[in-house]
Structure 1
Amino acid sequence: MSDKIKTRGRGRPRAFDRDMALDQAQALFHAQGYEGVGVAALAEAMGINPPSLYAAFGSKALLYAEVLDRYSRASPLSEPLIGPATDPDARPAEALTNLLRKAARIYSADPATAGCLVLEGERSTDADAACRARSCKDASVQQLHGFIAVTHPDKADVVADYVAAVMSGMSADARAGHSTERLTAVANMAALAIAAMLPTA
């Protein structure tokens, strides 16, 4: 998607590519956190000047909100879980275990963007940024709750909260440099607890 904002540089200005700009902003926010990135750095990464950034996104906070929403929708971890509602032979505990193992791989795939942008954003010292990230996380927890409630309605609250807590810890560990193997070991240990809480009928 392009609009009429022009990028900096010599010669004929190029049209502003919003998706590419969001990619650049996401990489910076993921690597340095909301507080660690200023408007000047964001604009430079996008190849525009600060006034153009404000014209395109309104503010740094609104840009961050758009990045979070885009990240949440595009993440492989947001893909629907396979459960009894779509596959009678599927086991909820197995689906949740696979989710944690996938998170272990994704969170540790790139040291520059380790962990989860949303979960790390929730730890922000900027109250507004943390609130925006928390809203994204809460939406994901609600999806987990709905998935679990199909077969284990009495366990949906605690298991959804447990999975979210494990993922938050794995994200923090990935930021600290833990390997995929270490994170996967955590996922496998959590799988034992999940299986105990969600026994197969």
Structure 2
Amino acid sequence: MTTKIARPRGRPRRFDPEEAVATAQRLFHARGYDAVSVADLTRALGINPPSFYAAFGSKAGLYLRALGRYAKAGAIPLSESLRPDRPVAESLAALLEAAARAYAADPAAAGCLVLEGARCNDPEAREAALAARVAAEDFIHRFVAARHPEEARLLTDYVATVMAGLSARAREGDGLDRLLATARLAGRAIAASISA
């Protein structure tokens, strides 16, 4: 006796690469690059491994696309905080507060995808995250250097260090109030440093 297996009616679900990148971004952000396996990704995307590799090349290839998506619609928009129409100290303080708010916005995916990815074990993914971090730091440096060239490197390093700390503390579970308190204290330190 032969039993026929009925196929579902209608067309098979179409794979949407952009939706897949969004799903992967959420997974990478929530768990960190190293903790997400290809099996986790294929399960979440509803595809098999050959389809995964055909679409993205590798886990790192998908991560690079997730970083690109994050840069467009998830990362802190530097130009909104670092505006030439207001003082540097005020702009940097606004950037740190924006970082605190963004890093605490989703407790399931706290912190910064880029900063956390810069610590992953995969060389290709780590290099991509480091490149994004360096680009952000260059933007901050250019902004500060336009008005305070002698202090630009030190202030950029300080802001980058505070942002990394905020991201790490958000991932450890610190809430918005604590992150904002830290960001505001750092903002006061910047203001005192520039006016000194």
| TM-score over 0.5 for the pair | yes
| 70-79 vs 20-29, which moves further | 70-79
1:156 counterpart letter in structure 2: A
RMSD across aligned C-alpha pairs, in angstroms? 1.8
**C-alpha separation between the residues in 2 aligned to 1:49 and 1:70?**
23
Match for residue 111 of structure 2?
115
Equivalenced residues, count: 188
* 2:96 pairs with 1:106: no
With over 3 angstroms needed to count, the CA separation of the structure-2 counterparts of 1:10 and 1:64, relative to structure 1, is farther
Match for residue 97 of structure 1?
93
Identity %: 50
Q: Give the secondary-structure state (helix, strand or coil) at the position aligned to 1:77.
A: coil
1:151 counterpart letter in structure 2: R
Question: How many Å apart are 1:154 and its aligned residue?
Answer: 1.1
* 2:151 pairs with 1:152: no
Match for residue 83 of structure 2?
83
Contact 2:78/2:95 (<8 A) preserved:
no
**C-alpha separation between the residues in 2 aligned to 1:17 and 1:157?**
43
**C-alpha separation between the residues in 2 aligned to 1:169 and 1:71?**
20
Q: Give the secondary-structure state (helix, strand or coil) at the position aligned to 1:154.
A: coil
1:177 counterpart letter in structure 2: G
Match for residue 167 of structure 1?
163
Match for residue 70 of structure 2?
71
* 2:41 pairs with 1:42: yes
Q: Give the secondary-structure state (helix, strand or coil) at the position aligned to 2:36.
A: coil
Match for residue 192 of structure 2?
196
| 172-181 vs 67-76, which moves further | 67-76
Question: How many Å apart are 1:79 and its aligned residue?
Answer: 3.9
**Unaligned 5+ residue runs, structure 1?**
1-8
Q: Give the secondary-structure state (helix, strand or coil) at the position aligned to 1:23.
A: helix
Contact 1:108/1:180 (<8 A) preserved:
yes
Question: How many Å apart are 1:198 and its aligned residue?
Answer: 2.5
* 2:134 pairs with 1:135: no
With over 3 angstroms needed to count, the CA separation of the structure-2 counterparts of 1:175 and 1:82, relative to structure 1, is closer
**C-alpha separation between the residues in 1 aligned to 2:14 and 2:127?**
33
Higher CA-based Rg? 2
**Unaligned 5+ residue runs, structure 2?**
1-6
Q: Give the secondary-structure state (helix, strand or coil) at the position aligned to 1:22.
A: helix
Match for residue 20 of structure 1?
19
Contact 1:25/1:42 (<8 A) preserved:
yes
Instruction: Calculate the TM-score normalised by the size of structure 1.
Output: 0.87
**C-alpha separation between the residues in 2 aligned to 1:125 and 1:43?**
21
Question: How many Å apart are 1:116 and its aligned residue?
Answer: 0.4
**C-alpha separation between the residues in 2 aligned to 1:174 and 1:196?**
26
Question: How many Å apart are 1:123 and its aligned residue?
Answer: 1.6
Say which structure, 1 or 2, has more relative contact order (CA 8 Å, 6+ apart). Answer: 2
Contact 1:78/1:140 (<8 A) preserved:
no
Q: Give the secondary-structure state (helix, strand or coil) at the position aligned to 2:42.
A: helix
